């Protein structure tokens, strides 16, 4: 199995040792579970939005550095609203700003964070392009 060198803080290390006996045992369980859970969740979340809305959400996260303290629904709404009001990106993709905002408001902070991570990830991918955006937004 490939190895990953993750960075955790002292509290997270203590938590892993408390719940899994060793840090390694905890990491070997948590990381694959987190990855699987993320992709299952993001596919469910993507089903809530149209293709035009998903493209708008991804476009709104271009050149955005995601900070852990800014991964909440309120920040997602602000990001999308600004991108639509200032750049009219929803019009470029054919999305209704009001419908998209209504759907976004139905998300909880965890879902909003997953959507922000997913949208930002497109731009740091080695193979992103406008052609691959169509593939990226598909629900599997």
Give the pTM: 0.86
Domain assignment of residue 1, yes or no: no
Do the beta carbons of residue 118 and residue 84 sit within 8 Å?
no
Query: Does 131 map to a domain?
Result: yes
Say if 27 falls within a structural domain: yes
- The beta-carbon contacts of 10-13 under 8 Å, at least 24 apart in sequence, are none
The answer to whether residues 21 and 59 belong to one domain is no
Note the pLDDT of residue 63: 87
User: Reduced to 3 states, what is the DSSP secondary structure of residue 72?
Assistant: coil
Number of structural domains found in the chain = 2
Q: Looking at the domain assignment, is residue 2 inside a domain? A: no
Q: What is the average pLDDT score of the chain? A: 91
Whether residues 109 and 69 fall in one domain: yes
Domain that holds residue 69: 51-136
Q: What is the mean pLDDT of residues 21-44?
A: 92
pLDDT digits (tens, 9 = 90+) for 37-94: 999 999 999 999 999 999 999 999 998 888 888 889 999 999 999 999 999 999 999 9
Q: Distance (Å, rounded) from C-alpha 50 to C-alpha 91?
A: 14
**How many degrees, rounded to 5, is the angle at CA 135 between CA 129 and CA 136?**
75
Kindly state whether residue 89 falls inside one of the protein's structural domains: yes
Cβ distance 85 to 115 under 8 Å?
no
């Amino acid at each position: 199995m490939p190895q990953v060198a993750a960075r955790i803080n002292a509290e997270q290390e203590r938590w892993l040792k408390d719940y899994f006996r060793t840090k390694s045992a905890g990491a070997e369980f948590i990381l694959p579970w987190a990855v699987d859970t993320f992709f299952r969740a993001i596919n469910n979340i993507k089903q809530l939005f149209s293709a035009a809305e998903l493209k708008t959400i991804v476009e709104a996260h271009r050149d955005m550095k995601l900070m852990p303290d800014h991964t909440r629904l309120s920040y997602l709404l602000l990001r999308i609203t600004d991108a639509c009001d200032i750049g009219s990106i929803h019009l470029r993709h054919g999305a209704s700003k009001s419908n998209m905002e209504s759907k976004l408001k139905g998300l909880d902070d965890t879902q909003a964070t997953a959507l922000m991570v997913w949208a930002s990830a497109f731009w740091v991918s080695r193979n992103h392009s406008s052609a691959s955006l169509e593939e990226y937004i598909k629900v599997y």
